[in-house]
């Protein structure tokens, strides 16, 4: 069996070398962008790579966890793709520490990545002084999307802070609409909680809780205040929320049934698909004392390979991904904003322009949970948040206790 | 047993064969079983041991072979979610298996009444088994959603006070999983039991009719006991489904509201793949495995291992 | 099927009892059809109508677009060719996997039930336990095993995996089926000097049609609908249709087209459904003949 395999691998290698003229720098890319909008955005990269003389071999697997598991299995199985997607943050830490992915420091130096990208994104991608991934976009996670017509009908201004939001919600409720459309799945409930925490508690508290796992921060009055505000928002949600997909929640806003919806900027895709435009049918705003934007996004990593052709393909891919026009076109379709802040975004939609403007001030750049905490701690927090949200009788103190125990026990 | 005339006659007794010549030439049989023995050894036992070993490590994204003793297990048993999962699987398991058996039996009996379009009915009851739950789960979720489905429908008909909000109610949500589970699994149970019914000797029916025993009594007191082997088979198949219950929950509630419908297999999967916590995931898998062994081992032993050769 | 098997009770004229029978069956059928109805009407509506949320209502603007889209033009990544892409891959995985796993089950069942091999029942016991473990636990070690043997990510690899995980059920089915056959047949063949394989091919296999059909139906359903093994072991060139199906219906951050989701799911289920319908008569007979016993 062994021998046969070697022989076939050998012939395959010969075949690949002899055909490399025709299929120059064939690069298999593994990612989880599969919806129509996402597909259009990945096409931007693929087209640019083809223009640059490469061949993009697409391997899309829906569901981040599925895709990552498949990719990691292939990396440990010795048959890695040329390039693979991760979320910006700690998901690929162990691939770096086990020397399974290449560093792209030379590219980063040449392209001055440290100067053109926001510091949280740089920090999340650099390990031991070297870039180990190419960041490609910035997703803001704590946007509040609202139905402009419903706010106008109710004579209410879009809220600026969370206490205002709760007051506005009561008024909207009186007009017979659902004030807040929530996808009642644990991760969206958790996303809403983080929006409240960063908006009302501030960036430092957010970092202390998710990054440093500071138990004192979790027991602070600010944390409790945010928790209580979050708890009050239960009254703004319709009873059909639990289990609902976020797409169905966004649809409630689109069809004038609900007024507000918290989500990342990817949710624009659902509005776009329904033919609605930012600033026209729906608005987007950051709720909070300061306009702190929680940012994450996607990166591509390059699994280690000895194949010269693959190495060249990886180098070429890295160049293509960060080209300014490619960045602009990709992010327009993806709903995110370019990872390079030096790109002119005036041709993008209103929400994207708002994002870019807010991020000009480094004080507004807040690392997303994926950047601050391990997937395991994020998960433990999610379990705590979903229990609190779905159990109105649970006190804020009981929730704090759950958070503290998650801080202690999660690896 | 004699009155069961299944086409190929189980009626012949199954006494063990005491034939020396058979015993002497067992080599080809042993060779034929060799590949399976190897697979059992390498894949099944190997993977089980590997899983158990990993549960004593601190592995996160990639397995590593350090040793942390029972640390993961103490984490596991302090974890609300795992405890809720264990309770849920018990509720689901009991209701799902008994529900499928009762519903499956009733469907089989009614189909057995020489009805027209039997093939159509049977296919209707069986089709859910062929469908991926990722999307059929969405259909269930919509139907059970108070704002979209049954509750809205009945209220729109004028019954303003009608409430059916199990899906979004922490206490009741697990029962909606049972309902969807019944929908998915009852058809297969029906098929198996129907097959059993078809094997019942027609003489028995004649005799019962002459004696004037009511039909329902014949089914319950005479036919049902005859179906015991079928019931056991169906139960085994359903039980493997209970232990592996995952898709259904993910598609309908994602474990919510809160953690009200979490189940052990989802706990394992989330920790293995989503949360980069292989150690805790494998610890949970090990606990599941031990539980299954504890429940099944005596039965498997008595039924299959102890009686060497021809099984009873 | 309605004429296939005679049984004890003869149909009578339309009585209250008969009405009751049909009333029960039709009610049950309605319950079973409910999600299918929702899926069907949803698949025939444009998205604007779906967003309004009248899930049970008939489509106002009837359109079959979602069906053609699901089959041939829905995006599943860079390519937008619907679920049809993986169809032949699925078939290529399905046929050898079903044949091999049934063969393995038949040989095992035969050897276990009629030949007394020391330790064989212990192997069977462990195999049966294995049926209760979530597959996902096996993935990582199996990847390591296959990558050291060099067949990881190939058609052969995925077929072997399906055979391995089909073993418990298949062995159980055949073991109990053969155990239920009259032992005299086997004894006579032995006295005539038949060896292990001769008896298997000449005596046992010809009598196995019903149970083979049962096994085929179980395996066709399981293997056709498998997603996780195909994704992990088949390799990019051989990904089954369920991977495309998953790419269409399962998106974390992308917008969703429910009509296409529903159509794609129903399309993907057609192969097992056809198998059920066509082999319905043998399915029922087979299980009866198999006398699958605990």
Give the tens place of pLDDT for each residue, C143-181.
888 988 888 889 999 999 999 999 998 998 888 778 877
Q: Do C77 and A39 touch (CB under 8 A)?
A: yes
Pair C42, C113 in one domain? no
Q: At what angle do helices C241-249 and B133-144 cross, to 10 degrees?
A: 30
* pLDDT over 70 percentage in chain C: 90
| Cross-chain CB nearest to A255 (options C51, C248, C255) | C51
Summary mean pLDDT of chain B: 84
- Please give the pLDDT value at position C283: 54
Q: Which of residues 237-296 of B touch A (CB under 8 A)?
A: 252-260, 270-277, 279-280
Contacts with A186 from chain B: Cβ below 8 Å: 254-256
Pair C128, C207 in one domain? yes
Report helix, strand or coil for A371: helix
More confident residue, C1 or B242: B242
Pair C179, C229 in one domain? yes
Interface residues of C toward A, Cβ cutoff 8 Å, are: 47-48, 51-53, 74-80, 139-140, 143-144, 146-147, 149-153, 231-232, 235-236, 243, 246-257
Distance (Å, whole) CA A238 – CA A259: 12
- Please give the pLDDT value at position A192: 98
Query: Is C68 inside a domain boundary?
Result: no
| Interface check B53 vs A, CB under 8 A | no
Query: Is C70 inside a domain boundary?
Result: no
Pair C270, C191 in one domain? yes
In the predicted structure, residue B177 carries a pLDDT above the cut 50: yes
Number of structural domains chain C divides into = 2
Greatest Cα pair distance in chain A: 77
Query: Is C71 inside a domain boundary?
Result: no
Name the closest residue on chain A to residue C46, using Cα atoms: A274
Report helix, strand or coil for B242: helix
Contacts with B138 from chain A: Cβ below 8 Å: 245
Name beta bridge partners: A299. Answer: A86, A135
H-helix or E-strand containing A26? strand A26-31
Closest by CA to B242, choosing from B140, B174, B303, is B174
pTM score above 0.80: yes
Closest by CA to C157, choosing from C97, C99, C233, C86, is C233
Contacts with C145 from chain B: Cβ below 8 Å: 42-43, 46
Name the closest residue on chain C to residue B307, using Cα atoms: C121
Distance (Å, whole) CA A130 – CA A104: 7
Average confidence (pLDDT) over B278-304? 88
Contacts with B60 from chain A: Cβ below 8 Å: 94, 374, 376, 411
B204-221: buried (b, 16+ CB within 10 Å) or exposed (e) per residue?
bbeebeeeeeebeebbee
Query: Is C79 inside a domain boundary?
Result: no
Pair C126, C182 in one domain? yes
Ordered DSSP codes for A381-396: HHHHHHHHHT-TTS-H
Those residues of chain A that have pLDDT short of 70 are 1-24, 411
Last residue of a domain, one of C63, C93, C117: C63
- Touching B: which chains, 3+ CB pairs < 8 A? A, C
B104-115: buried (b, 16+ CB within 10 Å) or exposed (e) per residue?
bbbbbbbbbbbb
The range of the structural domain enclosing residue B97 comes to 79-305
The range of the structural domain enclosing residue C45 comes to 1-63
Pair C37, C134 in one domain? no
| Interface check A57 vs C, CB under 8 A | yes
Closest by CA to C78, choosing from A60, A297, A316, is A60
Closest by CA to A304, choosing from A134, A129, A131, A81, is A81
Distance (Å, whole) CA C2 – CA C68: 35
Pair C26, C140 in one domain? no
Pair C8, C128 in one domain? no
Q: Cis omega (within 30 of 0) on the bond before B189? A: no
Query: Is B121 inside a domain boundary?
Result: yes
Distance (Å, whole) CA A197 – CA A230: 8
Query: Is B14 inside a domain boundary?
Result: no
Q: Which of residues 147-176 of B touch A (CB under 8 A)?
A: 147-148, 165, 167-168, 170, 173
Q: Do C294 and B232 touch (CB under 8 A)?
A: yes
Pair C38, C147 in one domain? no
Distance (Å, whole) CA B291 – CA B288: 5
Contacts with B147 from chain A: Cβ below 8 Å: 238-240
Dihedral sign of CA atoms C202, C204, C210, C216 in order: negative
| Interface check A39 vs C, CB under 8 A | yes
Binning pLDDT at 50, 70 and 90, where does residue B301 land? Answer: confident
Whether A124 contacts A95, CB under 8 Å: no
Helix residue ranges per DSSP H, C70-154: 87-114, 120-130, 136-149
Query: Is B226 inside a domain boundary?
Result: yes
Pair C58, C104 in one domain? no
- Touching A: which chains, 3+ CB pairs < 8 A? B, C
- Please give the pLDDT value at position B96: 97
Which residues contact residue A41 at a Cβ distance below 8 angstroms, ignoring those fewer than 6 apart? A33, A330, A331, A333, A334
| CA distances (Å), origin A107, targets A93, A125, A170, A339, C14 | 20, 13, 53, 15, 83
More confident residue, B3 or B91: B91
Contacts with C139 from chain A: Cβ below 8 Å: 69, 73
Q: What is the pLDDT of residues B152-162, one digit of tens each?
A: 889 988 898 89
* pLDDT over 90 percentage in chain B: 43
Contacts with B36 from chain C: Cβ below 8 Å: 104, 108, 123, 127, 167, 171
Which residues contact residue A173 at a Cβ distance below 8 angstroms, ignoring those fewer than 6 apart? A179, A235, A236
Name beta bridge partners: A138. Answer: A337
Of A232-246, B38-52, B123-137, give the lowest mean pLDDT range.
B123-137
In the predicted structure, residue B221 carries a pLDDT above the cut 80: yes
What is the nearest CA distance from A210 to chain C, expressed in angstroms?
22
| Interface check A120 vs B, CB under 8 A | no
Pair C34, C167 in one domain? no
Q: Do C182 and B303 touch (CB under 8 A)?
A: no
Distance (Å, whole) CA C204 – CA C113: 12
A185-205: buried (b, 16+ CB within 10 Å) or exposed (e) per residue?
bbbbbbbbbbbbbbbbbbbeb
Domains, in order of start, for chain A: 2-140+296-357 (3.40.190.10), 143-291+374-409 (3.40.190.10)
For residue C199, give the CATH number of its domain: 1.10.3720.10
| Interface check B216 vs C, CB under 8 A | no
What is the nearest CA distance from A303 to chain C, expressed in angstroms?
17
Q: What is the pLDDT of residues A30-82, one digit of tens each?
A: 999 999 889 999 999 999 999 999 999 999 999 888 899 999 989 988 889 99
| CA distances (Å), origin B12, targets A328, C161, C184, C212 | 78, 38, 9, 22
Ordered DSSP codes for A57-68: EEEE-SSHHHHH
| Interface check A390 vs C, CB under 8 A | no
Query: Is C73 inside a domain boundary?
Result: no
In the predicted structure, residue B135 carries a pLDDT above the cut 50: yes
Give the number of beta-carbon pairs within 8 Å between B and C: 327
For residue B159, give the CATH number of its domain: 1.10.3720.10
Q: Do C246 and A62 touch (CB under 8 A)?
A: yes
Number of structural domains chain B divides into = 1
Query: Is B105 inside a domain boundary?
Result: yes
Contacts with C24 from chain B: Cβ below 8 Å: 106, 110
Distance (Å, whole) CA B303 – CA B307: 7
Those residues of chain C that have pLDDT short of 50 are 1-10, 286-294
Ordered DSSP codes for C44-66: TS-HHHHHTT-TTSPPSS---HH
Q: Do B39 and C167 touch (CB under 8 A)?
A: yes
Which residues contact residue A8 at a Cβ distance below 8 angstroms, ignoring those fewer than 6 apart? none
Phi, psi of A143 (to 5 degrees): -80, 145
What is the nearest CA distance from C10 to chain B, expressed in angstroms?
7
- Please give the pLDDT value at position A20: 43
| Interface check A34 vs C, CB under 8 A | yes
| Interface check A61 vs C, CB under 8 A | yes
| Interface check A33 vs C, CB under 8 A | yes
Pair C47, C93 in one domain? no
């Amino acid at each position: 069996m062994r021998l046969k395999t070697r022989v076939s691998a050998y012939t395959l290698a010969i075949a690949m070398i002899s055909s490399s003229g025709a299929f120059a720098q064939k690069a298999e890319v593994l990612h989880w962008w599969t919806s129509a909008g996402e597909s259009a955005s990945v096409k931007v990269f693929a087209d640019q790579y083809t223009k640059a003389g490469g061949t993009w071999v697409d391997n899309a697997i829906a569901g981040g966890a599925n895709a990552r598991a498949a990719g990691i299995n292939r990396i440990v199985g010795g048959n890695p793709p040329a390039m693979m997607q991760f979320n910006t943050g700690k998901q690929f830490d162990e691939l770096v520490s086990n020397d399974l992915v290449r560093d792209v420091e030379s590219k980063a130096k040449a392209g001055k990545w440290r100067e053109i990208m926001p510091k949280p994104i740089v920090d999340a991608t650099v390990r031991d002084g070297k870039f180990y991934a190419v960041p490609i976009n910035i997703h803001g996670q704590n946007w509040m999307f609202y139905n402009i017509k419903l706010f106008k009908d109710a004579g209410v201004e879009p809220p600026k802070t969370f206490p205002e939001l709760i007051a506005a919600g009561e008024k909207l409720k009186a007009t017979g609409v659902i004030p807040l459309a929530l996808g009642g799945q644990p991760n969206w409930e958790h996303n809403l909680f983080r929006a409240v925490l960063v908006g009302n508690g501030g960036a430092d508290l957010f970092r202390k809780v998710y990054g440093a796992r500071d138990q004192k921060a979790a027991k602070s009055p600010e944390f409790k205040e945010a928790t209580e505000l979050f708890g009050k928002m239960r009254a703004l949600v319709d009873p059909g929320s639990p289990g609902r997909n976020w797409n169905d929640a966004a649809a409630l806003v689109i069809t004038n049934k609900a007024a507000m919806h918290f989500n990342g900027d990817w949710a624009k895709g659902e509005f776009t698909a329904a033919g609605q435009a930012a600033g026209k049918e729906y608005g987007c705003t950051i709720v909070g004392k300061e306009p702190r934007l929680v940012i994450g996004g996607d990166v591509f990593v390059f699994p280690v390979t000895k194949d010269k052709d693959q190495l060249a393909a990886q180098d070429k891919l890295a160049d293509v991904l960060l080209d300014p026009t490619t960045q602009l076109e990709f992010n327009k379709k993806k709903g995110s904003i370019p990872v390079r802040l030096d790109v002119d975004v005036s041709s993008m939609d209103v929400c994207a322009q708002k994002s870019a403007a807010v991020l000009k001030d480094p004080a507004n750049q807040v690392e997303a949970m994926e950047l601050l905490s391990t997937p395991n701690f994020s998960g433990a927090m999610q379990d705590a948040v979903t229990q609190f949200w779905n159990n109105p009788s649970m006190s804020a103190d009981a929730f704090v206790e759950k958070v503290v125990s998650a801080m202690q026990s999660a690896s | 047993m004699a009155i069961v005339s299944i086409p190929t006659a189980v009626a012949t007794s199954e006494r063990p064969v005491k034939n020396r010549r058979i015993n002497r030439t067992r080599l080809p049989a042993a060779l034929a079983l060799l590949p399976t023995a190897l697979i059992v050894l390498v894949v099944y036992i190997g993977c089980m041991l590997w899983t158990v070993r990993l549960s004593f490590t601190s592995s996160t994204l990639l397995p590593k072979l350090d040793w942390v003793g029972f640390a993961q297990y103490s984490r596991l048993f302090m974890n609300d979610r795992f405890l809720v999962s264990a309770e849920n699987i018990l509720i689901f398991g009991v209701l799902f298996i008994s529900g499928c058996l009762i519903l499956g039996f009733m469907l089989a009996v009614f189909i057995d009444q020489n009805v027209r379009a039997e093939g159509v009915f049977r296919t209707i009851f069986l089709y859910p088994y062929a469908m991926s739950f990722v999307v059929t789960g969405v259909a269930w979720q919509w139907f059970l959603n108070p704002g979209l489905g049954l509750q809205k429908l009945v209220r729109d008909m004028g019954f303003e006070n009608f409430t059916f909000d199990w899906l979004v109610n922490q206490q009741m949500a697990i029962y909606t999983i049972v309902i969807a589970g019944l929908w998915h699994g009852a058809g297969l149970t029906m098929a198996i039991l129907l097959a059993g019914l078809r094997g019942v000797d027609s003489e028995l029916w004649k005799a019962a009719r002459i004696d004037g025993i009511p039909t329902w009594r014949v089914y319950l007191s005479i036919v049902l006991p005859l179906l015991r082997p079928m019931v056991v088979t169906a139960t085994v198949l359903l039980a493997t489904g209970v232990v592996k219950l995952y898709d259904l929950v993910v598609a309908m509630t994602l474990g919510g509201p809160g953690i009200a419908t979490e189940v052990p297999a989802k706990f394992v999967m989330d920790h293995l793949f989503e949360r980069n916590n292989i150690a805790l995931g494998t610890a949970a898998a090990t606990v599941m495995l031990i539980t299954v062994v504890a429940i099944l081992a005596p039965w498997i032993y008595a039924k299959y291992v102890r009686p060497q050769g021809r099984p009873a | 099927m309605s004429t296939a098997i005679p049984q004890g009770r003869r149909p009578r004229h339309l009585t209250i009892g008969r009405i009751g029978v049909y009333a029960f069956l039709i009610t049950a059928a309605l319950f079973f059809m409910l999600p299918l109805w929702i899926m069907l009407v949803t698949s025939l509506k444009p998205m604007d109508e779906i967003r309004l949320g009248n899930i049970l209502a008939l489509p106002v603007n009837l359109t079959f677009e979602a069906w053609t889209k699901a089959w041939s033009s829905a995006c599943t990544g860079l390519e937008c060719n619907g679920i049809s892409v993986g169809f032949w891959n699925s078939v290529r995985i399905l046929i050898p996997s079903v044949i091999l796993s049934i063969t393995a089950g038949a040989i095992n069942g035969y050897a276990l039930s009629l030949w007394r091999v020391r330790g064989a029942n212990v192997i069977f016991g462990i195999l049966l336990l294995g049926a209760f473990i979530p597959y996902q636990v096996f993935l990582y070690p199996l990847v390591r095993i296959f990558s050291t043997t060099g067949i990881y990510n190939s058609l052969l690899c995925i077929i072997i995996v399906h055979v391995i995980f089909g073993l418990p059920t298949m062995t159980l089915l055949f073991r109990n089926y053969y155990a239920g056959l009259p032992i005299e047949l086997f004894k006579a063949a032995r006295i005539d000097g038949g060896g292990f394989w001769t008896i298997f091919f000449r005596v046992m296999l010809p009598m196995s049609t019903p149970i083979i059909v049962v096994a085929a139906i179980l395996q066709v359903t399981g293997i056709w609908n498998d997603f996780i093994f195909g994704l992990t072991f088949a390799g990019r060139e051989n990904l089954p249709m369920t991977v495309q199906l998953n790419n269409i219906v399962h998106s974390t951050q992308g917008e969703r087209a429910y009509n296409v989701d529903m159509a794609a799911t129903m399309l993907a289920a057609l192969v097992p459904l056809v198998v059920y319908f066509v082999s319905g008569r043998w399915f029922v007979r087979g299980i009866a003949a198999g006398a699958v016993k605990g």
